[in-house]
Amino acid sequence: MTMRLFDFDRAPNPRRVRIFLAEKQLSIPRVNVNLFRMEQLSPEFLAINPGGTVPVLETDDGTYLTECLAICRYLEFLQPEPRLFGGTPRQETLTLMWTNIVENEGLPAVAEVLRNLSPGFRDHVFPGPVPYPQIPALVPRGRQRTEQFFDRVAHQLQHHQYLAGGEFSFADISLFVTAEFAGWVEIQPVQQRPALQRWYERVAGRPSVTA
């Protein structure tokens, strides 16, 4: 069995995995799951991932991995270089720490704005098959949470070249995708945050980010 990546070009989380793959110079066959057509809620896809989200990595032994962090950590075991989780216990734990901050503070804050604002999420404010209505009153809160998150990472980047320290890592991939995701709801994270802007320009120059 050959590995496959269930993917959708427009979604931010699959992009994190594609950038990671590009950094590793790995090529994996992709299966498009069109979120606009709600293919992620089809019985066939829910049998693969009951959460109804992409990306999903199908491994050589038929295991389905459904979270970006798990997928990319698995890929790093298969292809250790270049190291994107760090080469020391300290660097790996810092990478995991900052990735967790992005995943718990950054991405959900932007998603709170988008999913309670965009008509496309009217009955699906959360991923998965259960319908949840939008609450437009949460949009200002989401914007405030997003700005607070970017303030936090900007402070970190005042003292470090990359988010988890001196080396580019998976945490930077996650932050870069979040920064661009924020543009979907007209939030400009680099404005009035010089350290974040310098970091953004540095990462945006990497060929992998076009994946």
Domain-ending residue, one of 16, 49, 78: 78
CA within 13 Å, CB half, 123: 5
- 146 in the same domain as 44: no
- CA 3, chain centre distance (Å): 20
* Single pTM value for the model: 0.97
Q: What is the count of structural domains for the chain? A: 2
Pairing of strands 4-7, 30-32: parallel
pLDDT tens string 83-130: 999 999 999 999 999 999 999 999 999 999 999 999 999 989 999 999
Q: What value does the mean pLDDT of the chain take?
A: 97
Peptide bond into 43 cis (omega under 30): no
- Rounded CA separation 39/10 (Å): 14
Q: Are residues 131 and 205 in the same domain?
A: yes
* Residues 97 and 196 reside in one and the same domain: yes
CB atoms within 10 A of CB 74: 14
Backbone φ/ψ region at 189: left (φ over 0), alpha (ψ -120 to 50), beta: alpha
Range of the domain at 161: 89-210
Q: Is a pLDDT exceeding 70 seen at residue 167?
A: yes
